[in-house]
Amino acid sequence: MLNVIYEDNHIIVVEKPCNIPSQADKTGDEDMLTLIKAYIKEKYNKPGEVFLGLVHRLDRPVGGVMVFARTSKAASRLSESIRIKDFSKKYLAVVEGKFENKTGTLEDYLFKDEALNKSRVVSKDKKGAKLARLTYEVLEEHENTSLVKINLETGRHHQIRVQFANSGHPLVGDQKYGKSNPGVQIALWAYELEFKHPTKDEIMKFNVYPKKVGAWKTFEY
């Protein structure tokens, strides 16, 4: 069941569940782009192909709030907002260990290995290396895990997962960059989006929080 948070003629904001791809991939599994197109087609009795612009993505295992463009004008303007960093994405994560500094900045250069679909921290001199930067704040600690709020300043491939693993605090449930705990859901959630509406002089802000299951259930938010 699609959880639509907001919609108008230009945008649609939804909650992406964990483990559903943002767009169709080689698995052929159900994806958000296809689900939302079907929803629009049925709700508004649209003939022919429905336009829907994917302007940002979430990794398949990650859930949270996403915005899609319903017109080409909206897609272009939202993409430009992202390019000039006038589009705020904030995340919650449960990570391994406790932090000496309760607030901080992680800044690294990342290289994406296309063959392995993984990124790694490299020297800034490596060909293809891209600057990755985020800020974080520890909200709460429980035993040997920490709940952190993350402000993503750049949008690199697997950025949050790679940078926290590299800092010695891999995300709980991260099968690719953390401890191998088969069946444990990754504790990373896109909880806030803030951006200027593509056609109105209005700042839009949306918050969706993860359900209190798995690694999340021991924390307050």
Per-residue pLDDT tens digits for 39-87: 999 999 988 899 999 999 999 999 999 999 999 999 999 999 999 989 9
> Which residue among 25, 31, 59, 201 is the active-site one?
59
For residue 69, which amino acid is it?
A
pLDDT value, residue 180? 67
pLDDT value, residue 57? 94
d(CA 176, CA 116): 10
Q: How far is CA 23 from CA 14, 101, 174, 178, in A?
A: 14, 37, 21, 25
d(CA 97, CA 146): 6
Taking 80 as the threshold, does the pLDDT of residue 17 lie above it? yes
Whole-model pTM? Answer: 0.93
Taking 90 as the threshold, does the pLDDT of residue 1 lie above it? no
d(CA 128, CA 19): 29
Taking 90 as the threshold, does the pLDDT of residue 25 lie above it? no
DSSP H helices, 62-148, are: 72-83
pLDDT band of residue 27 (cuts 50, 70, 90) is: confident
CB 37 within 8 A of CB 51: no
pLDDT value, residue 28? 84
CB 78 within 8 A of CB 89: no
pLDDT band of residue 26 (cuts 50, 70, 90) is: confident
Task: Sketch out the chain's domains with CATH numbers.
Answer: 3-218 (3.30.2350.10)
pLDDT tens track for 162-210? 999 999 999 999 989 987 677 789 999 999 999 999 999 999 999 999 9
> If you average pLDDT over residues 8-21, what whole number do you get?
97
DSSP H helices, 49-169, are: 72-83, 159-166
Q: Is 31 a catalytic residue?
A: no
